[in-house]
Each structure stands twice: as structure tokens, then as C-alpha cells.
Amino acid sequence: MKTKNKIAFSIGILLIVIASLGIFASRSIQMIKLNTENILKDNYNSVMYSQNMLKAISIFDSDSTAAMNLFVKNMNLQKHNETEWNEKQTTKQLIHDYDLFLKVKDAGSRLRLESTINSIIKLNTDAIQRKSEKAVDSAHSVLFYTILLSLVSTLIAIFMLLRFPKMFTSPIKALLEGIIEISNHKYDKRLDFGHNSEFTDVAKSFNNMAKELSVFQESSMARIISTKQYLETVINAIKEPILGLSDKKDILFANTAVTQILNIPTEKLIDKSALDLSLSNDLLRRLIRGMEKGSDKKDSDDDKDKEKDNDSPLKIYSDNKECYYEVHYLPLSKNSGTVVLLSDVTKFKMRDDAKTNFISVISHELKTPISAILMSLKLLEDERVGNMNGEQKELAQNIQDNSDRLLSITGELLKMTQVEAGVLHLNPKITKPIELIDYAINATRVLAEHWNCNIEVDYPEDKISKIFVDSEKIAWVITNLLSNAIHYSSENARVIIGARQLDKKVEIFVQDFGKGIDPRYHKTIFDRYFRVPGTKVQGSGLGLSISKDFVEAHGGTIRVDSKPGEGSRFVVTFNT
Ligand code: ADP
């Protein structure tokens, strides 16, 4: 039965019970009222008439006419008010006794008449008593049935009260539970509210939805699984080691190459905590440390450091040989994890080492013949050997300049190979910055004079702290900066060299007012062999990159502030 019909049916029953209760109660009250009225009307009147007749008898001796009138009047009234069984007979007796009394008028007939009247009174008072007892009985039974009906309707009302809310809430509760199950991805949940309920439609729609979701889940699941298998195949086919980590550093996937270099089988990697595994695996520990460093750097946005980190390859011993890997950390969107990609750069590293080695050997080997050329040139210039004419002198000068340049380039190349081979030995000692500045000024004196360059020194002696550096290397750096400043300025230019104290740091700077450097190249001028396009002055493009390596090896920094057309200011900073 539908809920609507159930409610209508129950309320209908309740209405019928209440209506019957009302009808029954009003009819019963009406009946009791009628009974009571009858008692008053019939029996009470008979008693009154009888008492009037007794009164008439009592005044008969004194006023016979009035007494007779009174008696006859009441007797006639009594004649028309015979309600009780036997009352008609007694009234007839009364008429007879009255006639007899009128005829004989003795005490006997009088007594007899009075006795008959008393019989009528008794008859009616008995009836009154009987009827009032009946009325009381009726009232009792009315009361009983009224209470009974009230009880029945109360029970029905209680039943409805208990049943109706449940009738509505239980399907809603079941529906709510179903929705929670669905939201927990349990799509096999189904609802059943019976056949004759409005909720059947709701259940039908719910079950359809759950079925479709389950079909959708299965198809998406199948798609996800096939995509996963596809990705796994691709990842395993890649020769480069790849490791996927979740945001909690659990290993999501690892290809064959990574399991080989980590020396851990796949089943011991997948879904395991990389942090736990890293306790017993050195390589994994280094990868995680690098990842944490990388994310710290990302936070601090230190591009220079990031580049440096990416530049230094990771050395791994695999298959009893040294391998080099460049590590790339690819963060997934919304910080949901990281993919660690290792590119094998062993071949490049070996080639690079070979190149460095080659440059080192060549530079070293070239130094001796260049020195020999310079020595021979010196001898050639000696007048004891013979006089040279003007043209020969010019040619000799040319040989001298180029040999000097070759010597400086081989010197720079040697320094670079030192850095690249990682054999840069520092011999630091406490040094006054002014000593480095003086060295640089002396080293470039000839050049400055040649270009008629005016070198100014800005050095507040008492304010500058000493620094702990390898003075030979840093003097070379400052000389290189000063020589660049002279080279890249016009003739008769002005160059300022000096130092500044900055809290616990000392800055040594070289400022020129030459052509300046385009901001696009402020970073790249510190790269190996880089020269600003269009630079006419001869050079190797190595000076600044070696300077940077030397300065950073001391824990210092080097930077340039420059605007095209306004000049450049190179600043080297050291901790004191
Ligand atoms: P090199 O001077 O031998 O070319 P460096 O590494 O010292 O190599 O300099 C790299 C490049 O930076 C130079 O080729 C030049 O273009 C630019 N550069 C260096 N110093 C200055 C300067 N003071 N003014 C303008 N450009 C400069």
C-alpha cells in the first residue's frame, strides 16, 4: 500500500472511531435525558395527583364540593397518566372506590380509597426508583463504552504516532546510508523499500545510479590499469633510471634500470618508504638528500645554486665501474610527488675528462716552446747579437705580443683544467685586501700606461678587515678584473679599484666607465669561453669563469653591475 493511502486509511479509521464515539456518547446522553424526563413527567405527576386526591379526602368533611372538584380533577388527570404496568387496574380500582365512597361515605370506604391512592403512589415511587437505577446503569454503560472507544482511538493514535515517523524516516535513513556508501566508492550498494512504496522510485533511481557508477568505475579502473601497464612498459623500456616518489616519499614506480643501480629488486621497492630504504642504501640516501636540497632551493629561489647542483654529476659504482649520472627532479603538480630521472652522462664525463686532460697536457707542453720563443726574442733584441732595422723591430714586437698572449692563454687554460680536474689546492692565509689591489695595479701597470689609463684607488684603510684567502689566486682574479676594465674601456679612461666593508663581509670592486655589458649577458659572461658578441678585444673567454671558480672555492661570490654605455662594476665578496 502506498504511504499516502496508508496515512489516509489510518486517519480514516481514527475519524470513524472518533465519530462513533461522539455519536454513541450523544445518543446515550440523550437516552438518559429522556428516561429522566419520563420519570419526572409520568411517575412524578401520578404521585402529585395521588397526593392531591389524598388532600381532597382530608378536606371532604369541611368542604365537600371543593374536595370533590379537586378529587375528580386529579382522578381524571391520573386516568390519562397510566404509565406503569398494573397502574390502569389500580386507577380503575380508584374510580370504583371513589364511587363507593360517594355512595356510603363511611370510614371503611374512605380507608379503602386512601389505600388505593397510596397503592398508586407506591406504584409510581417504585417506578421512579427502578427507572433512576436504570438511568444510573445506562450512565455506567455509556461511561464504559466511551472509555472503551477512547482507549481504542488512543491506541490507534499511538500506533500512528509510532509508525508514521518511522515510515518516513527509515527509507530516508536507508537512503542516507546508501549515499554514504556510494561516496566511499562502494558502488555495489543497492536499496530496497518493498513494492508499494513511493520510495520504490527513489530506490530504483539510486540503484540505477549505483549501477552506472560501478560500470563507470570498472571502465575507468580498466582504463587506469591499462594506462598504468602502458606507462610501466614505456618506463621499463627507457634505459635511463627512473624513480617515482609520492609526496610522502613512498616509491610509486621504479624501472629496471633504477633497480639495477640501486641494487634492490622491484618487489622490495614498490610501495615501500624511500626514507626507510635509504637508511641502508647510500645511493637512495643521496638522491633523497638532493631532492630535499632541491626543494629548499626552490623555496629560496636561488637560481645560481640550482644550476651548480645540476652541473655536478652523481658518481655511482655500478657493475664494478664508475658511472656518472645527472639527476633531474621533476615535481608533480600540486606537490603530489616527484619523479627522479637519472641521465647517464658517463660518456660525456669521460670525454670531458679527456678534453681537460688534453688541454692540460697541451697547455703545459706549449709553455716551454713559448718561453723559448720569448727567450730567443730577448736575445734577438740584444744589440750584441746585431742591430734590427725598424721593420724587424716591429715584427719582433709583434712576436712578443702574440707570445705573451699565448702564454697568458695557456696559463688560463692550465688554471681551468686545475679547477675541472678538482685538484684546485688552496693555500689560504690572512691577507689585507690592499695587498691584492696593489699587486693587480703593478701587474697591469704597463697595460695601463699603454692605454693611458688612470687607475684610482678607493680604499678606506682603517675600515677594511683582513680576509683569509689564497692571495696568489685572488690576486690573479683582481688582476684579471683590472686588466678587463682597462681593455674594455676607451683610451685615456678612468678606472676605480677599491674595497668596502659590509658588516662581516669585504667587497673588492673594479669599476670602469667603458662600454658596459648588456644585462642579457650578466650571467653568461661567467661561463667558460663565453665572450659578449661583437667583442673586438682579443681574449679567450676564460678569465671570468676561472675567477668565479677561484672566488667560490673560497666561499665568496662574484657579480657584475653594469649598464651598456655607462661602464661596469665587478664586485668580489668574501667573508671576513
Ligand atoms: P676575455 O676577456 O678573455 O674575453 P673574460 O672571461 O675575462 O674573457 O670576459 C668574458 C667577456 O666579458 C669578455 O669577452 C667581454 O665581452 C666581457 N667583459 C669582461 N669584462 C668586461 C668589462 N670590464 N667591460 C665590458 N665587457 C667586459
Measured in Å, residue 453 CA sits from the centre of ligand 1 at: 17
Tell me the three cell numbers of residue 268.
Answer: 622490495
Measured in Å, residue 317 CA sits from the centre of ligand 1 at: 40
Q: Which whole-number Å values give the CA distances from 174 to 111, 169, 188, 190, in the listed order?
A: 93, 8, 15, 10
Q: Which whole-number Å values give the CA distances from 216 to 189, 208, 209, 429, in the listed order?
A: 15, 12, 10, 73
Ligand 1 pocket residue status of 541, Cβ below 6 Å = yes
Q: Please return the burial class of 490, using the count of CB atoms within 10 Å of its CB with bins 0-12, 13-18 and 19+.
A: exposed
Q: What is the atom index within ligand 1 of the atom nearest the CA of 540?
A: 3
pLDDT single digits (tens) 168-181: 778 788 889 999 99
Q: Which whole-number Å values give the CA distances from 552 to 305, 469, 502, 555, in the listed order?
A: 11, 11, 18, 5
The pLDDT score that the predictor gives to residue 299 is 52
Q: How confident is the model at residue 276 (pLDDT cuts 50, 70, 90)?
A: very high
Measured in Å, residue 525 CA sits from the centre of ligand 1 at: 7
Q: What is the atom index within ligand 1 of the atom nearest the CA of 489?
A: 24
pLDDT single digits (tens) 474-494: 999 999 999 999 999 999 999
Measured in Å, residue 545 CA sits from the centre of ligand 1 at: 10
Q: What is the atom index within ligand 1 of the atom nearest the CA of 570?
A: 23
Q: How confident is the model at residue 188 (pLDDT cuts 50, 70, 90)?
A: confident
Residue 390 burial (CB count, 10 A): 7
Distance of CA 195 to the CA centre of its chain: 42
DSSP-based three-state secondary structure for 251 = strand
The pLDDT score that the predictor gives to residue 40 is 65
The pLDDT score that the predictor gives to residue 308 is 41
Ligand 1 pocket residue status of 544, Cβ below 6 Å = yes
Ligand 1 pocket residue status of 540, Cβ below 6 Å = yes
The pLDDT score that the predictor gives to residue 361 is 86
How many angstroms separate the CA atoms of 379 and 24, rounded? Answer: 152
The pLDDT score that the predictor gives to residue 28 is 80
Measured in Å, residue 409 CA sits from the centre of ligand 1 at: 14
How many angstroms separate the CA atoms of 486 and 454, rounded? Answer: 9
How many angstroms separate the CA atoms of 558 and 477, rounded? Answer: 10
Strands (E), 409-481: 429-431, 454-458, 467-469
Measured in Å, residue 519 CA sits from the centre of ligand 1 at: 13
Ligand 1 pocket residue status of 567, Cβ below 6 Å = no
Q: What is the atom index within ligand 1 of the atom nearest the CA of 546?
A: 6
pLDDT single digits (tens) 62-84: 998 999 999 999 999 999 988 88
DSSP-based three-state secondary structure for 262 = helix
Residue 205 burial (CB count, 10 A): 11
Q: Which whole-number Å values give the CA distances from 474 to 39, 87, 432, 554, in the listed order?
A: 141, 154, 12, 9
Q: Take atom 14 of ligand 1 and give the residue whose Cα is closest.
A: 531
Tell me the three cell numbers of residue 289.
Answer: 638528500
Angle, vertex CA 176, rays to CA 171 and CA 179, nearest 5: 125
Of 56 and 21, which is predicted with more confidence?
56
How many angstroms separate the CA atoms of 74 and 90, rounded? Answer: 15
What is the C-alpha end-to-end distance of the chain, expressed in Å?
94
Residue among 453, 529, 531 to mutate when testing ligand 1 (max atoms within 8 A of CB): 531
How many angstroms separate the CA atoms of 132 and 463, rounded? Answer: 132
Instruction: Give residue for cell 571502465.
Output: 219
pLDDT single digits (tens) 409-458: 888 888 888 887 777 788 999 999 999 999 999 999 999 999 999 999 99
Q: Which whole-number Å values give the CA distances from 306 to 256, 276, 295, 312, in the listed order?
A: 28, 27, 10, 10
Q: Take atom 9 of ligand 1 and give the residue whose Cα is closest.
A: 541
pLDDT higher than threshold 90 for residue 192: no
Going by C-beta distance under 8 Å and a sequence separation of 6 or more, which residues neighbour residue 46?
A: 78, 81, 83, 87, 120, 121, 123, 124
pLDDT higher than threshold 60 for residue 304: no
Measured in Å, residue 497 CA sits from the centre of ligand 1 at: 17
224 membership: H or E segment, kind and range: helix 199-237
Ligand 1 pocket residue status of 539, Cβ below 6 Å = yes
Measured in Å, residue 336 CA sits from the centre of ligand 1 at: 45
Q: What is the atom index within ligand 1 of the atom nearest the CA of 480?
A: 7
| Beta bridge partners of residue 338, listed in sequence order | 245, 331
Measured in Å, residue 473 CA sits from the centre of ligand 1 at: 19
Sheet holding 337-344, edge to edge: 251-254, 242-246, 337-344, 321-331, 314-318
User: Can you say whether residue 249 is alpha, beta or left, with left for phi > 0 and alpha for psi between -120 and 50 degrees?
Assistant: left
DSSP 9-36: HHHHHHHHHHHHHHHHHHHHHHHHHHHH
Residue range 298-314: mean pLDDT, rounded: 52
